[in-house]
Structure 1
């Protein structure tokens, strides 16, 4: 999930991909890279100024449906969700053609030049090259920097001045959703894998491609051609993709304009006086389906289905790194309920009032909620709309969040024995990453050799713990040794250490931060999925010890207090964390109250020990508690 705050430091009068808190300093122009939900924060309430984007992004956004969940704060129950769209932005959204340097006037006598470049991520996704006042930056949004794509961008006449080193970019705002150091299969390799697997099945097999978000359009085209079958989709998906093939209403013989290159294959095109059909259809009587659950498709209900699911990558040790929402996207193509910031806060309060509601996994669920709250991102819930409207309690949403956390904790899966060349399984997986790992990102940065790198997806605690810095990852590929984001992270770390020292009258020594390892190591570091979440994985069959990356939190207070005072602190209403303007400011304070995560961990251990001493019940297990972060997280058992 993107954590970018929308601020381009070289051009402070604009905002990109984050539209909350604009009243503090209203921008003169806004920009949207693509329609994935983690880049739309606050856009549904925007009324001005203009938002510049690609033509495809504009058409998709105007048809994007959003279902906010309204929580009853008093009873903790759901109200019926109401549909909300972005149709009110029709006059605000201003499309710019790709590969075309375009002057954007910010105010009288003040303008910038903006060029949109394909991002190889999803339909309509672009990068922004922004130039003006002697400055030039490249904002990537979300990218998949495959070698062929980097070469294509490098030769693009709109940016060749920078790729050929005639000019130097002041900064690249880089998609750092994944910083794993392992090679990814290219999309072409993933498509080949998929087509080889489906070719083994009988001619009457029915397939379902689980395309839950934008970015798998090429997979549809390849599947349709290989199986010589159309693909059944629901009306919502069909309406979105049909909008990407436009035609003049004044001339019925006019040729269509296709806003993405896959549009003719997907929804059809005009050839002379004839209208040719695309591969997407509303007809259920086809072999391939990508229809949404709950649409009453007879084939999906009554026929045996082989499920096709994309993953991030096949790892060298025989395991798969699965997709768990990394870098956003969620269920944008499916009509899913969404928790907004005020509803997330209400759910945190509900969980806080009942410690046993989620048992052991409760602290991690609260961490997911808190991360979404602090970054002002909405949180999609993996529930079908038809099921959701019938519920009257928080039970179902909490089950959904537990499922999400469990998936995040185990993103690397052992390959299913049934998914082997010698067997025909009802599940096909194929590699099709939509973000880049470290080797691809380094290739991209090396092509331009900018002065500085600013990460768009950051987990400060996790990065500080592992010593991750932009200089450590990309320093040898940049023309300057000054990395502003690293300075910011260092200042934050020093400030936390000063606060800890101020609170600890005895002046205990602070944990030493580890330097950044070499950019390219022999074993991958699996970073948090969806930016904020912990990954858990296990080396199997090779004798290596299990490695678990625990949830990262800000260092808690080191001053010791009795648990009665801890518990009284928790009665403070979380709503006090909201600023007077209504902005969300929920964080682990170093000066006032212990974090919820640290509190829960230490209180659970205290209660277990107390019950064991009293001896009036079964013996309670006391988990190992980390001493490296002031007893605030549970250590992995040896």
Structure 2
């Protein structure tokens, strides 16, 4: 294996095609017809899109997810477009959702009435990903699906799920799942070390150090709690965390307020060891502490811990996996909860759209904008996800904000395109102990584990929840090729969707007379059943909101001119040849083409309209916004959104000055 590609952001837009009245892990674009129920698998950022503004009856989740979510702190930036800077961030929380979030106990089939005569049964199953993270088994009206969210399907985990009472019918073949909505964050064919192997390696390394060595665990997200527990026990030391983290984890222990003799309830298995518990009449302390004078730290940088600021530190960094030839795969990406345990700044889609305009039209505001940031911004915008910045909210300064944000995005983009590094244990020379320790501890599964999981349940179909269409087409990745022999069905609906999308890209090239048959496209794709797609609100910003968030480009988009994240097809499959395009497109073809005409780079000739006329990039975005807004106006039933004047020649995609424009 020469290069592996790591994508750690869900592109799923919440649509469960078998149960169209619900949404999962995506809470935007409902318009005036919200779903009858929503479901949240866990609290990582890329699964919370739109939740802070949700207007829906209920959001079902695990009890731990509810308690964590109510205490999350976000710092969204707001862009002052005229000045090209970001204003001071304001903290937002999800406390207003206290009456909306409805916990369901794990491993308990629960019947929910969506509306009179419409019922579904939902079972929450642990996802082996982070505290409170669950999979959803949804059954009803003769259909059944499993939505995995984010999961790590280690062998022991697959066995545990297979023998659970709720899943035993499907693992033994008595019933068949219609579809698994699968965590496809990593689709490369390489083995992962198990979490147990990673912990064993870590404990072996730290045991070599003197008894007074101070360690700092560089983990800024949920999912490394077992690492805390193992280190604390092995070294006989508590772990210093900041007040924000302590408050989050204390919420995982609850007690009735009207009975002082009531027993405590622990919402996760590791909560008692982390924050303490009552045994008889004695309150036992947990391993997490606010006391700085301990050997192990996992406090947020910049919070004023005197120990980590003045004393020598050995840094501990979890990675995804050890690869061949002494290389390591680090965890990178723009979502996936990379900084959810730190008080970081975020950009929402509206401000991402403004930032794209500034980078494109006002490059003089940026010393070195670099094409590296364009992929990040475009991907997040099309997927309608937020971008978490590598900036600390307490240190944010208005005057330097724009420069700092650009630098943060460039750093993030370079990391995404280079996840394979020769890290090793840095600082080890002449038998000296290193000052930087790495150990494997993946929270997502690669292809071998995913195939084992799918083969255990043999569903009829697989729907991927993280998709990179251009890369997948170039590498020949299909659900049939990856999982066909593990499934009981022969119709892979997502493959058909991708074929239609790529076929339209080919026909666009042919109409333009452009040589080459390689797919070099940028698109968001619509599910053939357009009626099941969420409708964008009339006041949505002029962005490419997908009708099916499962198809979100991550390599090249209209803004990505020079950036390419290499990744060979590590599992060689071939897609079926697409049928020849019709001479005149039908409505579905127009819908797909309108959402993403083929583009090789950011050029006018590649952006085609229905009459194959060349459009500028701005005209393409204007026409796309007009199309989405018009559809929202027709289907939404509310106030109509504004549509700028447009034409096939782009003469009127910008309002003339005499008409009130700039």
TM-score, normalised with respect to structure 2? 0.79
The answer for the alignment partner of 1:521 in structure 2 is none
Give the deviation of 1:235 after TM superposition: 0.6
CA contact (8 A) 1:169 1:451 kept: yes
CA contact (8 A) 2:184 2:465 kept: yes
CA contact (8 A) 2:333 2:412 kept: no
Rate the CA distance shift 1:150–1:420 in 2: closer, same or farther, 3 A.
Answer: farther
Where in structure 1 are there 5+ consecutive unaligned residues? 514-529, 539-551, 585-590, 594-638
Deviations 1:17-75 (A, max 9, x none): 00000126421100000000000000000121200000000000000111110110111
The answer for the alignment partner of 1:383 in structure 2 is 391
CA contact (8 A) 1:76 1:350 kept: yes
Give the deviation of 1:418 after TM superposition: 3.8
Equivalent of residue 483 in structure 1, options 489, 492, 514:
492
The 5 A counterparts of 1:341-490 are 341-355=349-363, 362-416=370-424, 418=426, 422-490=431-499
The answer for the alignment partner of 1:273 in structure 2 is 281
The 5 A counterparts of 1:33-432 are 33-325=41-333, 328-355=336-363, 362-416=370-424, 418=426, 422-432=431-441
Equivalent of residue 555 in structure 1, options 584, 589, 599:
599
CA contact (8 A) 1:57 1:125 kept: yes
User: Is 1:569 equivalent to 2:616 in the alignment?
Assistant: yes
Give the deviation of 1:460 after TM superposition: 0.8
Deviations 1:534-586 (A, max 9, x none): 54589xxxxxxxxxxxxx9953489869xxxx9993565967754436999xx
CA contact (8 A) 1:419 1:428 kept: no
What root-mean-square deviation, in Å, do the aligned CA atoms of Structure 1 and Structure 2 show?
2.7
CA contact (8 A) 2:249 2:275 kept: yes
Deviations 1:401-458 (A, max 9, x none): 1111111121100134746594311111000000000000000001000100000000
CA contact (8 A) 2:334 2:387 kept: no
Cα distance in structure 2, aligned partners of 1:436 and 1:189? 15
Cα distance in structure 1, aligned partners of 2:623 and 2:78? 20
Cα distance in structure 1, aligned partners of 2:139 and 2:133? 20
Rate the CA distance shift 1:360–1:462 in 2: closer, same or farther, 3 A.
Answer: farther
User: Is 1:27 equivalent to 2:35 in the alignment?
Assistant: yes
Give the deviation of 1:481 after TM superposition: 1.2
The answer for the alignment partner of 1:610 in structure 2 is none
SS in structure 1 opposite 2:315? strand
Aligned length: 552
Where in structure 2 are there 5+ consecutive unaligned residues? 1-8, 521-551, 556-563, 569-595, 607-612, 642-647, 651-662
CA contact (8 A) 2:462 2:492 kept: yes
Deviations 1:568-606 (A, max 9, x none): 93565967754436999xxxxxx989xxxxxxxxxxxxx
Deviations 1:464-514 (A, max 9, x none): 11110000000001111110000000011111222222333xx8563389x
Give the deviation of 1:386 after TM superposition: 2.3
SS in structure 1 opposite 2:269? coil
CA contact (8 A) 1:128 1:138 kept: yes
Cα distance in structure 1, aligned partners of 2:567 and 2:193? 20
Rate the CA distance shift 1:337–1:428 in 2: closer, same or farther, 3 A.
Answer: same
Q: Which moved more, 1:552-561 or 1:123-132?
A: 552-561
CA contact (8 A) 2:326 2:424 kept: no
SS in structure 1 opposite 2:139? strand
CA contact (8 A) 1:233 1:282 kept: yes
Cα distance in structure 2, aligned partners of 1:84 and 1:105? 32
Rate the CA distance shift 1:560–1:460 in 2: closer, same or farther, 3 A.
Answer: closer
User: Is 1:532 equivalent to 2:554 in the alignment?
Assistant: yes
The answer for the alignment partner of 1:510 in structure 2 is 517
The answer for the alignment partner of 1:547 in structure 2 is none
CA contact (8 A) 1:58 1:93 kept: yes
Cα distance in structure 2, aligned partners of 1:354 and 1:138? 46
Rate the CA distance shift 1:418–1:2 in 2: closer, same or farther, 3 A.
Answer: closer
Cα distance in structure 1, aligned partners of 2:84 and 2:364? 16
Rate the CA distance shift 1:307–1:509 in 2: closer, same or farther, 3 A.
Answer: closer
CA contact (8 A) 1:177 1:326 kept: no
Cα distance in structure 2, aligned partners of 1:492 and 1:385? 41
Give the deviation of 1:274 after TM superposition: 1.2
CA contact (8 A) 1:81 1:389 kept: no
Rate the CA distance shift 1:5–1:592 in 2: closer, same or farther, 3 A.
Answer: farther
Cα distance in structure 2, aligned partners of 1:467 and 1:382? 34
CA contact (8 A) 1:2 1:531 kept: no
Cα distance in structure 2, aligned partners of 1:501 and 1:531? 22
Cα distance in structure 2, aligned partners of 1:567 and 1:478? 43
Deviations 1:64-102 (A, max 9, x none): 111110110111111110000001110100000000000
SS in structure 1 opposite 2:197? helix
Deviations 1:183-233 (A, max 9, x none): 000000000111011111111111111111000010000010011000010
Cα distance in structure 2, aligned partners of 1:242 and 1:79? 33
